[in-house]
Structure 1
């Protein structure tokens, strides 16, 4: 499904524009202006620098800029997902001096009208928020699901050392334990899934219904429905898929391969989306992802895990007390919301 960017902006209703704003399709030449506008976003964890070029090449996506007196003051990206029924809004950026003036609302309405004019089959608009929702938000959106956000940082070398100690402890415990151990994690060791297993588990069975939050696959801030086009998109990405038991999963996770972030020299970002409510199984998969993806890293890592809100506190304590990593911030939430496209 290719978004036709040749649509002239004048084709949209006049009510969708604002006298002092101009809207253009983003290009590679706009990169520096956008980065200057969005400095210090997410404390150095902004994903936009690493995704901007690929967004421009995505045939299911359009990136729109709002300009004021020829200067870029806002950006928004819209991607068509879920077999064309969902308009996913991402990457909102507004220049600091223009915030609180209604620019974001005007830009969103413009993008919505642009998509509706080309894809009348679109039904809902979805976006992911990381702030507390208030009464006004629920006047505009309905909540689909939410996850707690656990953000920690550490030196890769330190965590590798801690993991080595934990693994030795497990070996000792395993050799002295009996086969009748009641530990859920020992009964169901993590299993990494290949593409065939991912497709079968998520699309051809009902096994994931009780695991996915409100039947939503949230991968690195992007919420999807488990449909064939979604899986085709996700399986093109560098993602580790894991479950505790392929025959009866209780916990599943998606780990995005680490990439550099502009926090400082040799800083990496590791993103883990965790589904399920069994604390022991969550710990087990978390450790497996850490072991696999820190093995070749040297330097600092910012690791962000999204998990069931009730598991946030015990996992935060586990990270600090057992792994000796630093908690970057207290509890925050990742909320997936949507509204009807009329």
Structure 2
């Protein structure tokens, strides 16, 4: 700031930020990256920012009807006055060294008698990886996935999408590994991001897996298949975050500890997709 040739120091305070994208054929405003500085929390800043962004989006996209958020914090009673819950998933977060995991996965493959349900010789056929055509066929041209997905919603890496062609135009541009146990009658499906580096140290990677279905053995099978595929060439540390049916969290946490010998980063938390009317 200058005045009469004098220079005064200026400061910039960032108290909150938010990003928004429009999905579901223009009917949904998806709120992402809503963050408030710690010293400003509890002062109504988030509400002001949400209203401002909602008004801005509505001015440019008048067909927007609802605002959706994906949260991992504990919902409070007043939140239920503002939001409708669309679905909940448990969050299982583990970490490991890629080199150690490869050895452990080799042991599981060599000793089928320890985990017979995971054996390739068991009655369950191996998971099927989907190409773009089979994704369209399963998710858009049939009703096979509607009962499997929570509230008929694809939640990919915190982003909830309805089963609409415009949303799959977005999803299929991403690096995602799509998998089901059976293309003719799927009971477990999963979406896995390809590993991406994160700035928490040298050679740290993140892997996100969205898992749908309630069959524990098939969930284990797809989980291991994703790990085998996406950690085979990695060297370093991996944070793996899996979103799954809440009832499967405990048995999968036990499996990760006993069978894979990986570290549980935190106890049970939930991913909640909520929405409110866009006003």
Per the normalisation by structure 2, the TM-score is: 0.92
Q: 2: distance between equivalents of 1:277 and 1:83?
A: 30
Partner of 2:108: 166
Contact 2:108/2:114 (8 A) holds in 1: no
Q: Which whole-Å CA distance do the structure 2 matches of 1:188 and 1:136 have between them?
A: 47
Residue 36 of structure 2 is aligned to residue 94 of structure 1: yes
1:111 aligned onto 2:48: no
**Which residue does the alignment assign to 1:318?**
255
Which residue is 2:210 aligned to? 273
After superposition, the C-alpha distances for 1:205-241 in whole angstroms (9 at most, x for unaligned) are 0000121011010000000001001111000000000
Counterpart selection for 2:129 from 187, 192, 196: 192
CA distance in 2, matches of 1:301, 1:173: 24
1:114, distance to aligned residue in structure 2 (A): 0.5
- Is 1:128–2:70 an aligned residue pair? yes
Task: Note if contact 2:65-2:277 (Cα within 8 Å) is conserved in structure 1.
Answer: yes
Distance in 2 separating the partners of 1:71 and 1:133 = 28
CA deviation string 1:90-136 (max 9, x = no partner): 00122222222211110110000001111111111000000121211
Structure 1, 88-97 or 68-77: larger mean CA deviation:
68-77
Alignment of structure 1 residues 134-283 onto 2, 5 Å: 134-170=76-112, 186-283=123-220
Q: Distance in 2 between matches of 1:141 and 1:188?
A: 41
CA–CA distance in 2 between the matches of 1:306 and 1:200?
Answer: 24
Counterpart position of 2:223 = 286
- In the alignment, the residues of structure 2 paired with residue 102 and residue 172 of structure 1 have an alpha-carbon distance, to the nearest angstrom, of 54
Q: Provide runs of 4+ in structure 1 moved above 4 Å.
A: 171-174
Residues 241-260 of structure 1 show CA distances to partners (whole Å, capped at 9, x for unaligned) of 00000000000000011111
Q: What SS does structure 2 have at the residue aligned with 1:71?
A: coil
User: Normalized per residue, which structure has more helix?
Assistant: 1
Separation in structure 2 between the aligned mates of residue 204 and residue 134 of structure 1, nearest angstrom? 39
- Deviation of residue 171 (structure 1)? 8.8
What is the CA RMSD across the aligned residues, in angstroms?
1.8
User: What is the Cα deviation at residue 74 of structure 1?
Assistant: 1.3
Deviations 1:283-320 (A, max 9, x none): 00000000000001000000000000000000000000
Give the deviation of 1:140 after TM superposition: 0.1
Question: Structure 2 stretches of 5 or more lacking a match?
Answer: 1-9
* Mapped contact 2:177–2:193 kept (Cα < 8 A): yes
- Separation (CA, whole Å) in 2 of partners of 1:173 and 1:233: 38
Q: Does 1:337 align with 2:279?
A: no
The SS at the match of 1:128 is strand
Bigger relative contact order (CA 8 A; separation at least 6): 2
Counterpart in the other structure of 1:58: none
Moved more, 80-89 or 161-170: 161-170
SS at match of 1:72: coil
- 2:13 corresponds, among 71, 78, 84, to 71
CA drift of 1:172 comes to 9.9
Larger deviation, residues 69-78 vs 325-334: 69-78
Measure, in 2, the Cα distance between the counterparts of 1:121 and 1:82.
11
Residues matched between the structures, number:
267
Tell me, in whole angstroms, the C-alpha distance in 2 between the residues paired with 1:258 and 1:171.
30
Report the Cα offset of residue 138 of structure 1.
Answer: 0.5
Q: 2:241 aligns with which of 286, 304, 316?
A: 304
